[in-house]
C-alpha cells in the first residue's frame, strides 16, 4: 500500500513540476506577444530609432540583423561545409581527428561574450576595422561554425555507406561522390541545420556589442553602392542589430517609450525565431520527401 | 564446429589455353591485426561466371571487394591482383580508372537518389562523355542489357528510388555495365530480393555472361549451381576448393567442401 | 591493350579531383583549428598581462574584494580584487542549476517514462522554443517582470543574485532537460520491464532503476547547463545590478564576470591596467569553460565504464 501511495505522490509532483515548466513558457510567450505585438506596426518596423523622444522604430536594426545574418551564413556555410565533409568523409580515425573534434567542441562551448571579445581584439583593434558589420559577421561566424559544422557532419554521416560505395565503384572520385551523391541526400538535414543556426545567430547580442557596435548611424536606403558610407550594404559601417538594440535601450535607454519599444522589438525577435524554427521543420520535411520519394 | 584441416586444398588447374582475365596471387587481407584472408590464389576465365560460396564470415565478400580495391582504407591487402599483366594492387594503378573496368554491384540495391536516366548518365558524364546522343544510346543499351528497359522506358525521369527492389538492383547492374567494364563483381546481389526478382536477375546474368566475366558471391548454393561455370569455396579466410561447378556440387574433393555442400557443416 | 594499361597507370582526372577536394576540406577544418588556437592564445596572453606586465599578485586578484582598477590603495597597489565577480558568477550558476534540476528531471521523466506521446506533442516544442528565445529577451523579461516582482516580494531594489538566478533558471532548464532526455532514452527498455515485472511500482522503477542508470547523463546535462549559465552575459547583466561588491545576500546588487566585462570593456583604454584586468576576467571565463568541458568528458568516461 505504501509503495502505491508514494507512487501516486511522486507522479503528482512530476505533473506539478511539468505544469510549471509549461506555464513558464506560456507566460513568456504571452507576455512578449501581448505586450509587444500591439506595438508592432508598419511604421515601427520601418522607421529609424529615436534616442530621446518616443515613437522610434526599429527599421535600421531590423535591416542590420538580416544583413548580418546573411553575411554570417555566407561566410560560415562554406567553411562549415568543408569542415563537415572533412570530418565525415576524409578524417582518419586517430588521435589527431579526436583532438580536432575536441577543439570544435571547445569552440562551441565558449561563452559568446568571449568569442565577441576575441573578435573585438582581432578585427576592431588589431586590424583596425572598427565597429563594423564585417567584424560582427566574422565574430558571429566563429560563434556559428562549430554547431553548423557538427550538424553538417551528422547529416552527411547519416547517409548510408551504400551510396558511397555506389559512387566509388563507378570510378567516381571521393570528392565527386560526396558533392554529387552524398550531399544532395544530406541536403534536407543540412538546410534544417542552417535555419536553426540562423535563429541562434539572429538573436545573438553578446558577440556583437563589441564587434558590430551599438550604434546605428542613419542609412540611406536609396544608395546601394556598397562602397558608400551610408549605403545599407556598406560592410564597414557600425551596425546595431535588433538584439543589441533591446539590450541597449534596457540598460541605458532614456527614451520615454523604452519599454514599449523593447516589447515590440522582443516580439519581432521571438516571432522571427519562431518562424525560423517552423521553417526548419517544414522545409526539412518537404525536401526530404522530395529527394527520397522522387516525384 | 568440427576441426578441419585448412591446408587441405584443391585448386583446379585451368587448361593452358584458357584466357584468364583476372587472377589473384597469394592475396592476404588484414583488418588491423585480424588476418581475414590467407593466400588466396584464383584465376577467372573470360566469359564465365564464377561463384564464390562459403559460410558468412568465410571471407568471400572480403576477397571480392579486394579485387577492385574497395577495401582501400578499410583493410590492408597484400599479394598480387593481375589484370592484363598489370598488378592492380599497386600504388601506380589509378583506382578510379581501374574501377571503371571492374564494375561492382552490391548486396543491397544502391541507386543514386536521382532519376533512372541520371543514375546512368551522371557517371558517364563524369567519365568525360559529353555527347548527349552517345549518353542516351548508352543508357538505353545498358538498360536493355540489364533487362530493365521495357519496364522503365516510358518514364526515365522517374526517381530511381521509386522502383522495386529487383528493378533497383537491375538498374545498378545497368549502371555498372554502362561503364563498359571487362569484369562484373556481384556481392550477393539477390540477397535482398524476393524469389521472382531473384530469378529474373539470374536470367539477366546468364545473358551477360556472353560479353562479360562475372564473379558472384552468393550464400545460396542452388543459385551457385544453377548459375555458375566455376565455383570457389571459402572457409575461415582460406580458399579451400576451386573447380568446375558441376564437379564441386557432384563430387567435391575436400572433406570441408563436401560437408558444406551436403549440409553437414558445423 | 597497352592503351588500357597506360590508362590505368596514369593519374586520372578523378584522382586529381580527389586531391583537390581533400585539400579544400582540410583547409576548412584548419581554419577552425586556427580560430580556436588564436582565441586561446590571444585571450590568455591579454589576460596574463595583469599579472606579468602590471605585476598584480595572482592571490590578490582572486581574494581581494575591492574592484576599482583605475585607482590604487594607500600602498600603491591596484584595486583589482575580482572575488565579488567570481562569487557572483558561481552563485547564480550553482543556484540556477540547483533550481532547474528538479524541473528538468520531472520534465524529462514525464516525456520519456510517463507520457511519451503528450511529451512529444506538447513538451518537445515547449523545450525547443525555450532554447530558441534569445537571451536579450530573457533579460528584458527579467528586467520588467522578475526584478519588480522580487522587489515587491522581498524588498530591496530587486536587482541581485536572486533575479539573476531566476532568469538563468529558465535559460538553462531546456538545456538540461533536452540533454537528460537523450540520456533517459538510452536506458535499455528491459531494465524497466524487468523492474515492473518484479512488481515494482512505476515510481519505484523510475527512481531506483531508470534514474539510477542515468546518473552520469544527468550530471553531464547539469554541467552543460552550468557552463551555459556561467558564460551567459547580457541576460544576467540586465538584472543583477552591476555593483562590483561582494554580495551580502541574494537581494543585494552584485555582478558577475560577464556583466563586468560587457559594461567595462568599452570604457577602458587598450593596454592599460583597467583594460588588462577585464581581459583577465575573460581569461577566467575561458578557463572555466574549458574546465566544464573537461568535467563533462570525465563524467562521460566514468559513466561509460559502468
Contacting subunits of C (3+ beta carbon pairs below 8 A): A, B
B170 in any annotated domain: no
**Chain B, 78-97: which have a CB under 8 Å from a chain C CB?**
84-86, 88, 92-97
Instruction: Tell if the CB–CB gap between C12 and B97 is shorter than 8 Å.
Output: yes
| A165 vs B70, B115, B161: nearest CB | B70
Query: B103 — contact with chain A (CB < 8 Å)?
Result: yes
With an 8 Å Cβ cutoff, the interface of chain A facing chain B consists of 160, 162-163, 165-173, 176, 180-181, 184-185, 291-295
Which residue, among C26, C33, C39, C269, would best test binding to A if mutated, counting the most A CBs under 10 Å from its CB? C39
Let me know: does A145 contact A183? Beta carbons within 8 Å. no
Instruction: Tell if the CB–CB gap between B175 and A170 is shorter than 8 Å.
Output: yes
Contacting subunits of A (3+ beta carbon pairs below 8 A): B, C
Q: Under CATH, which number does the domain C83-305 receive?
A: 1.10.3720.10
Sign of CA dihedral C228, C232, C235, C240: positive
**pLDDT at res. C305:** 45
Q: How far is B145 from chain A (nearest CA, A)?
A: 17
**pLDDT at res. A183:** 93
Q: Give the number of beta-carbon pairs within 8 Å between A and B.
A: 71
Retrieve residue B148's grid coordinates. Answer: 530493365
Chain C CB contacts of A266 under 8 Å are 136-137, 140-141
B58-77 per-position pLDDT tens digit: 899 999 999 999 988 888 99
ipTM for the whole complex: 0.89
Retrieve residue B88's grid coordinates. Answer: 592492380
| A163 vs B110, B123, B159: nearest CB | B110
| pLDDT mean across residues, chain C | 87
Query: CB under 8 Å to B25, separation ≥6 — which residues?
Result: B41, B79, B80, B81, B82
Instruction: Tell if the CB–CB gap between C17 and A89 is shorter than 8 Å.
Output: no
From first to last of its 295 residues, chain A has per-residue pLDDT tens of: 588 888 889 889 999 999 999 999 899 889 998 988 888 888 888 888 877 777 777 888 899 999 999 999 999 999 999 999 999 999 988 899 999 999 999 999 899 999 999 999 898 888 988 899 999 999 999 999 999 999 999 999 999 999 999 999 998 999 999 999 999 999 988 998 998 899 889 999 999 999 988 887 777 777 777 877 778 888 888 888 999 999 988 887 777 788 888 888 899 999 988 888 888 888 877 877 776 654 3
Let me know: does C273 contact C46? Beta carbons within 8 Å. no
**pLDDT at res. C138:** 93
Number of independent structural domains in chain B: 1
B165 in any annotated domain: no
> What distance in Å separates the CA atoms of residue B37 and residue B26, rounded to the nearest whole number?
9
**Per-residue pLDDT at C302 exceeds 80:** no
Radius of gyration of chain A (CA): 23
B163 in any annotated domain: no
Q: Which residue of C has its CA nearest to A205?
A: C136
Domain A40-293 class, CATH top level:
mainly alpha
Which residue, among B72, B121, B126, would best test binding to A if mutated, counting the most A CBs under 10 Å from its CB? B126
The enclosing domain of B87 has a CATH number of 3.40.50.300
| B113 vs A172, A176, A185: nearest CB | A185
B3 in any annotated domain: no
Residue closest to A33 by CA, chosen among C300, B161, C141? C141
| pLDDT mean across residues, chain B | 90
Query: C43 — contact with chain A (CB < 8 Å)?
Result: yes
- What is the pairing mode between strands B34-45 and B230-235? unpaired
Domain ranges of chain C: 2-53, 83-305
- Residue C241 has what DSSP assignment? B
> Between C2 and C241, where is the model more confident?
C241
> What distance in Å separates the CA atoms of residue B32 and residue B54, rounded to the nearest whole number?
23
Chain A CB contacts of C23 under 8 Å are none
Residue closest to C295 by CA, chosen among C224, C189, C196, C199? C224
**pLDDT at res. C306:** 43
> What distance in Å separates the CA atoms of residue A186 and residue A181, rounded to the nearest whole number?
9
Domain ranges of chain A: 40-293
* SS3 at position C73: coil
Q: How far is A292 from chain B (nearest CA, A)?
A: 7
When pLDDT is averaged across residues B161-186 and rounded to a whole number, the result is: 92
Chain B CB contacts of C7 under 8 Å are 94, 97
- The DSSP secondary structure of chain B, one letter per residue, reads -----TT--EEPPPPTT--EEEEEEEEEEEETTEEEEEEEEEEEETT-EEEEE-STTSSHHHHHHHHTTTTTTTSEEEEEEEETTEESSSTTS-HHHHHHHEEEE-SS----SSBHHHHHHHHHHHHT---HHHHHHHHHHHHHHTT-HHHHTT-TTSBGGGS-HHHHHHHHHHHHHHT--SEEEEESTTTTS-HHHHHHHHHHHHHHTTT-EEEEE-S-HHHHHHH-SEEEEEETTEEEEEEEHHHHHHS-SSHHHHHHHHT---
Let me know: does B103 contact B179? Beta carbons within 8 Å. yes
Q: Which residue of C has its CA nearest to B82?
A: C5
Q: How far is B108 from chain A (nearest CA, A)?
A: 8
Residue A41's CB is within 10 A of a number of other CB atoms, namely: 11
B107-135 per-position pLDDT tens digit: 999 999 999 999 999 999 988 889 999 99
Contacting subunits of B (3+ beta carbon pairs below 8 A): A, C
**pLDDT at res. C1:** 57
- What is the pairing mode between strands B86-87 and B34-45? unpaired
Residue closest to C266 by CA, chosen among A120, A109, B168, B164? A120
SS (H, E, C) C92-148: HHHHHHHHHHHHHHHHHHHHHHHCHHHHHHHHHHHHHHHHHCCHHHHHHHHHHHHHH
The whole domain housing B233 covers 10-95+102-110+183-262
> What distance in Å separates the CA atoms of residue B120 and residue C252, rounded to the nearest whole number?
73
Q: Which residue of A has its CA nearest to B95?
A: A171
**pLDDT at res. A4:** 84
Which residue in this structure is represented by grid cell 579531383? C17
**pLDDT at res. B51:** 94
The values of phi and psi at residue A257, to 5°, are: -105, 30
Chain B CB contacts of C8 under 8 Å are 86, 88, 93-94, 97-98, 101
When pLDDT is averaged across residues C54-59 and rounded to a whole number, the result is: 82
> What distance in Å separates the CA atoms of residue B181 and residue B153, rounded to the nearest whole number?
23
Residue closest to B151 by CA, chosen among B127, B167, B136? B167
Instruction: Tell if the CB–CB gap between C289 and A3 is shorter than 8 Å.
Output: no
Chain A CB contacts of C231 under 8 Å are 109-114
Chain A CB contacts of C103 under 8 Å are 17, 20-21
| C103 vs A6, A21, A273: nearest CB | A21
Instruction: Tell if the CB–CB gap between A168 and B159 is shorter than 8 Å.
Output: no
Instruction: Tell if the CB–CB gap between A169 and B126 is shorter than 8 Å.
Output: no
Instruction: Tell if the CB–CB gap between A28 and C233 is shorter than 8 Å.
Output: no
Retrieve residue C19's grid coordinates. Answer: 586531391
Amino acid at each position: 500500500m505504501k509503495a502505491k501511495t508514494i507512487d501516486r505522490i511522486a507522479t503528482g509532483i512530476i505533473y506539478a513540476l511539468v505544469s510549471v515548466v509549461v506555464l513558464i513558457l506560456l507566460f513568456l510567450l504571452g507576455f512578449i506577444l501581448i505586450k509587444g505585438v500591439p506595438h508592432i506596426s508598419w511604421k515601427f518596423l520601418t522607421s529609424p530609432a529615436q534616442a530621446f523622444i518616443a515613437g522610434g522604430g526599429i527599421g535600421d536594426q531590423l535591416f542590420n540583423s538580416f544583413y548580418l545574418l546573411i553575411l554570417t551564413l555566407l561566410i560560415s556555410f562554406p567553411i562549415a561545409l568543408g569542415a563537415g565533409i572533412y570530418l565525415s568523409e576524409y578524417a582518419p580515425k586517430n588521435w589527431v581527428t579526436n583532438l580536432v573534434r575536441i577543439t570544435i567542441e571547445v569552440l562551441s562551448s565558449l561563452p559568446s561574450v568571449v568569442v565577441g571579445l576575441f573578435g573585438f581584439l582581432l578585427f576592431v583593434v588589431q586590424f583596425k576595422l572598427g565597429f563594423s558589420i564585417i567584424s560582427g559577421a566574422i565574430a558571429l561566424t566563429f560563434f556559428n561554425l562549430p554547431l553548423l559544422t557538427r550538424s553538417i557532419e551528422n547529416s552527411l554521416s547519416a547517409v548510408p555507406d551504400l551510396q558511397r560505395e555506389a559512387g566509388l565503384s563507378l570510378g567516381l572520385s571521393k570528392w565527386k561522390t560526396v558533392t554529387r551523391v552524398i550531399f544532395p541526400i544530406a541536403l534536407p538535414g543540412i538546410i534544417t541545420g542552417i535555419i536553426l543556426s540562423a535563429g541562434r545567430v539572429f538573436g545573438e547580442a553578446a558577440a556583437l556589442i563589441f564587434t558590430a557596435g551599438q550604434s546605428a548611424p542613419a542609412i540611406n536606403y536609396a544608395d546601394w553602392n556598397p562602397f558608400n558610407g551610408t549605403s545599407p550594404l556598406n560592410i564597414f559601417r557600425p551596425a546595431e542589430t535588433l538584439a543589441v538594440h533591446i539590450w541597449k535601450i534596457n540598460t541605458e535607454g532614456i527614451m520615454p517609450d523604452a519599454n514599449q519599444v523593447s516589447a515590440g522589438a522582443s516580439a519581432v525577435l521571438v516571432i522571427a525565431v519562431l518562424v525560423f524554427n517552423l521553417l526548419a521543420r517544414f522545409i526539412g520535411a518537404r525536401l526530404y520527401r522530395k529527394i527520397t520519394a522522387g516525384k | 564446429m568440427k576441426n578441419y584441416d585448412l591446408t587441405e586444398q584443391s585448386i583446379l588447374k585451368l587448361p593452358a589455353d584458357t584466357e584468364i582475365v583476372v587472377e589473384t596471387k597469394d592475396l592476404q587481407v588484414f583488418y588491423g591485426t585480424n588476418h581475414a584472408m590467407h593466400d588466396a590464389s584464383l584465376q577467372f576465365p573470360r566469359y564465365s561466371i564464377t561463384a564464390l560460396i562459403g559460410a558468412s564470415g568465410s571471407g568471400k565478400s572480403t576477397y571480392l571487394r579486394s579485387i577492385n580495391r574497395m577495401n582501400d582504407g578499410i583493410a590492408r591487402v597484400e599479394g598480387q591482383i593481375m589484370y592484363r599483366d598489370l598488378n592492380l594492387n599497386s600504388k601506380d594503378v589509378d583506382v578510379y580508372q581501374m574501377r571503371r573496368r571492374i564494375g561492382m554491384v552490391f548486396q543491397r540495391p544502391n541507386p543514386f537518389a536521382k532519376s533512372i536516366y541520371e543514375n546512368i548518365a551522371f557517371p558517364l558524364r563524369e567519365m568525360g562523355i559529353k555527347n548527349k546522343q552517345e549518353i542516351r544510346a548508352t543508357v538505353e543499351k545498358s538498360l536493355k542489357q540489364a533487362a530493365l528497359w521495357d519496364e522503365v522506358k516510358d518514364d526515365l525521369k522517374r526517381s530511381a528510388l521509386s522502383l522495386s527492389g529487383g528493378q533497383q538492383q537491375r538498374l545498378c547492374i545497368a549502371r555498372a555495365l554502362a561503364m563498359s567494364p571487362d569484369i562484373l563483381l556481384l556481392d550477393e546481389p539477390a540477397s535482398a530480393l524476393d524469389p521472382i526478382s531473384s530469378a529474373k536477375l539470374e536470367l539477366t546474368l546468364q545473358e551477360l555472361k556472353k560479353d562479360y566475366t562475372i564473379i558472384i558471391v552468393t550464400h545460396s548454393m542452388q543459385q551457385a549451381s544453377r548459375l555458375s561455370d566455376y565455383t570457389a569455396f571459402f572457409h575461415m579466410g582460406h580458399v579451400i576448393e576451386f573447380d568446375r561447378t558441376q564437379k564441386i556440387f557432384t563430387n567435391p574433393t575436400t572433406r570441408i567442401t563436401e560437408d558444406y555442400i551436403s549440409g553437414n557443416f558445423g | 591493350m597497352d592503351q588500357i594499361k597506360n590508362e590505368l597507370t596514369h593519374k586520372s582526372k578523378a584522382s586529381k579531383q580527389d586531391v583537390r577536394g581533400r585539400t579544400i576540406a582540410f583547409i576548412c577544418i584548419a581554419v577552425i583549428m586556427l580560430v580556436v588556437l588564436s582565441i586561446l592564445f590571444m585571450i590568455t596572453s591579454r589576460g596574463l598581462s595583469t599579472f606579468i606586465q602590471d605585476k598584480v599578485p595572482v592571490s590578490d586578484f582572486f581574494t581581494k574584494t575591492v574592484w576599482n582598477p583605475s585607482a590604487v590603495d594607500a600602498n600603491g597597489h591596484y584595486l583589482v580584487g575580482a572575488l565579488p565577480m567570481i562569487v557572483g558568477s558561481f552563485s547564480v550558476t550553482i543556484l540556477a542549476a540547483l533550481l532547474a534540476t528538479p524541473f528538468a528531471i520531472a520534465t524529462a521523466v514525464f516525456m520519456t517514462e510517463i507520457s511519451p506521446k503528450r511529451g512529444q506533442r506538447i513538451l518537445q516544442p515547449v523545450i525547443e522554443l525555450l532554447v530558441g528565445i534569445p537571451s536579450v529577451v530573457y533579460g528584458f523579461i527579467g528586467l520588467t517582470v522578475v526584478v519588480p516582482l522580487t522587489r515587491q516580494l522581498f524588498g530591496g531594489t530587486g536587482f541581485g543574485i536572486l533575479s539573476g538566478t531566476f532568469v538563468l533558471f529558465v535559460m538553462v532548464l531546456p538545456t538540461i532537460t533536452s540533454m537528460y532526455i537523450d540520456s533517459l532514452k538510452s536506458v535499455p527498455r528491459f531494465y524497466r520491464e524487468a523492474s515492473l515485472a518484479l512488481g515494482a511500482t512505476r515510481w519505484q522503477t523510475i527512481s531506483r532503476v531508470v534514474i539510477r542508470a542515468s546518473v552520469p547523463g544527468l550530471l553531464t546535462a547539469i554541467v552543460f547547463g552550468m557552463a551555459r549559465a556561467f558564460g551567459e552575459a547580457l541576460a544576467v547583466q540586465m538584472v543583477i545590478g552591476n555593483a562590483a561588491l561582494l554580495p551580502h545576500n541574494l537581494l543585494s546588487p552584485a555582478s558577475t564576470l560577464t556583466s563586468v566585462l560587457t559594461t567595462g570593456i568599452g570604457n577602458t583604454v587598450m593596454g592599460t591596467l583597467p583594460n588588462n584586468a577585464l581581459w583577465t576576467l575573460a581569461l577566467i571565463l575561458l578557463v572555466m569553460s574549458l574546465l566544464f568541458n573537461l568535467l563533462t568528458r570525465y563524467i562521460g568516461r566514468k559513466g561509460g565504464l559502468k
